Amino acid sequence: MLRASERRTDPDACRMEDLVVNNRLTIPASELQASYSRSGGPGGQNVNKVASRVTLRWQVGDQPRLPPDWQRRLLARHGNRINREGEILVHSDRYRDQPRNLDDCRQRLTQWLLECEAAPVERKATRPSLGSKLRRLDNKRRVAEKKSGRRGWSD
């Protein structure tokens, strides 16, 4: 758990712009919240001093901008990233500076939304063609002949 001294929300640290997902969905900057904390792992002095990890939050629970079916698919696919308040959380500490980590969070959120936009294509049941059936049987016959040729004949 992060201590209050390690976690901060600084609106001037990285200016946020509207997040354009596609021509149907644009998330205003006022709905996105970014918080910054110290990154873990190796990195020496930089990790110990600089709050470069970014956590991006977006309220998805009761979102009027998101069509209901799109929202359902997002909740089904990325429900484990949504907290009790209905916010989707995106974390990034890939880079050593806040602006690049913020851009990474925004790109990942956009990617998640785009992959849930379209409904999955229903599979249509098809039957194998006559040619594929004949090829399968021919191959099966050749393998059987090869194996029967290996058997020793007893008198």
State the residue for tokens 């069509």. 67
DSSP H or E stretch at residue 112: helix 98-115
* Contact in structure between 123 and 76 (CB atoms under 8 Å): no
- The H or E element containing residue 148 is helix 130-150
Query: What is the average per-residue pLDDT within 25-34?
Result: 83
Q: How many other β-carbons are positioned within 10 Å of the β-carbon of residue 144?
A: 10
- What whole-number distance in Å separates Cα of residue 27 and Cα of residue 33? 11
More reliable by pLDDT, 45 or 116? 116
Q: Which of 19-23, 31-35, 89-93, 99-103 has the lowest mean pLDDT?
A: 19-23
Whole-model pTM: value is 0.65
Neighbours of 69 (CB within 10 A): 12
- CATH code: domain 7-115 is 3.30.160.20
Of 13-22, 73-82, 107-116, least confident by mean pLDDT is: 13-22
Element (H, E) at 3: none
Task: Give pLDDT, residue 3.
Answer: 46
Euclidean distance between the first and the last CA atom of the chain, given in angstroms as a whole number: 80
Task: For the chain, give the percent of residues with pLDDT over 90.
Answer: 19
Residue 127 has pLDDT above 90, yes or no: yes
Query: Among 70, 71, 79, 76, which residue's Cα sits nearest to residue 117?
Result: 70
Compute the average pLDDT of residues 134-138: 97
pLDDT value for 147: 92
Dihedral Cα 37, 43, 48, 50, nearest 10 deg: -50
The string of pLDDT tens digits covering residues 43-88 is 667 666 778 888 889 888 777 888 888 888 888 888 888 888 888 8
**Averaged confidence pLDDT in the chain:** 82
Q: Which residue has the tokens 């110990």?
A: 48
